[in-house]
Amino acid sequence: MVRAFVQRGNPVTIVDRVTPEIPEQYRHLVTHVSGELTDPQVREAAVPENSAGIIHLAAITSVLRSVDKPAETFAENVEVTQGLLELARQRGVGRFVLASTNAVVGDIGYGTISERLPLRPLTPYGSTKAACEMLLSGYSGAYGIATTALRFTNIYGPGMNHKDSFVPRLMRAALAGEGVEVYGDGSQSRDFVHIDDVVQAITASWDKQYNGTAVIGSGSSISVMELIESVRTATGKELPITHVPAKNGEMPAVIVEIEKARRELGYTPNVRLTDGLRTVWDDFRDADGRVSVAT
């Protein structure tokens, strides 16, 4: 997202615990604030008086962690979002984009998830994101801020090396020549959306000063076994599998409708799954020191 803005010549302030790697030609456009957004002083530094808007991507996103630590999840997700919205109100910031989730509607089995469904989260994580969406709606209605909640599906792409979700686990197994465990029969279906398409959606909502909620995904769900086969194609590796008992409470399917995003944001997912997985594979091999990719 930062790359997309600086390539358009827009200055960006980043808040992160880790110092970002910024190409030399863009460093004059980037300010880095190091620290935790739970710290009011960090939030103050994050939102200069002349800010055009806020794109809020930071959160506790682990469902299991939210179940173990609901109070911490509330503080880092809800209280931080409210603090940033309050700074936006005080400083006349006109745009606010939030990374939300389809977990706000809970488990609907094999039904199709859309913005029309009621909010019925089943975990502290989903509940905090639903609360954040309500805060956005309230600040929009009372103060005229253009607030956007984008409900993302499973995001994948370069930069996942440190993550423990299924796609990076598959990539690490491919690099090591190892196999992977699959819960149950692997028929669970998920929607995977490439980071480039996510950036497209955020940019569109920013440029349009969009006010509302939109589901962002590829619009096409695949099974776990189909994902593994796509990774085999992208990596050229065998990836043997072992079936293990399914976890209790795992959602059988995530099937989303993206028509509202198409219609109101002009959003069109462009990255095919196998092509997108190749970008992840190249990134993992580069990080592993096996391949040097010139960019």
Least confident of 127-131, 150-154, 191-195, 243-247: 243-247
Answer for the pair 33, 46: CB distance below 8 angstroms, yes or no: yes
Measured distance between the N- and C-terminal CA atoms of the chain, rounded to whole angstroms = 17
Give the domains, in start order, of the chain with CATH numbers. 156-192+220-295 (3.90.25.10)
Closest CA to 15 of 24, 28, 40: 40
Answer for the pair 253, 189: CB distance below 8 angstroms, yes or no: yes
pLDDT bracket for residue 294 (50, 70, 90): very low
pLDDT at 288: 76
Q: Is the pLDDT of residue 236 over 80?
A: yes
pLDDT bracket for residue 289 (50, 70, 90): low
Q: Is the pLDDT of residue 284 over 90?
A: yes
pLDDT bracket for residue 249 (50, 70, 90): low
Q: What would the 3-class secondary structure string for the chain be?
A: CHHHHHHCCCCEEEEECCCCCCCHHHHHHEEEEECCCCCHHHHHHHCCCCCCCEEECCCCCCHHHHHHCHHHHHHHHHHHHHHHHHHHHHHCCCEEEEEEEHHHHCCCCCCEECCCCCCCCCCHHHHHHHHHHHHHHHHHHHHCCEEEEEEECEEECCCCCCCCCHHHHHHHHHHHCCCEEEECCCCCEEEEEEHHHHHHHHHHHHHCCCCEEEEECCCCEEEHHHHHHHHHHHHCCCCCEEEECCCCCCCCECEECCHHHHHHHCCCCCCCHHHHHHHHHHHHHHHCCCCCCCC
141's tokens: 């209605």
Q: What is the pTM of this model?
A: 0.93
Residues in the chain: 295
pLDDT bracket for residue 292 (50, 70, 90): very low
Answer for the pair 136, 94: CB distance below 8 angstroms, yes or no: no
pLDDT at 248: 67
Q: How far apart are CA 106 and CA 109, in angstroms?
A: 9
pLDDT at 265: 98
Q: Average of pLDDT values for 266-276?
A: 97
Q: Is the pLDDT of residue 279 over 60?
A: yes
Answer for the pair 271, 196: CB distance below 8 angstroms, yes or no: yes
176's tokens: 């090591």
Q: What percent of the chain has pLDDT over 70?
A: 97
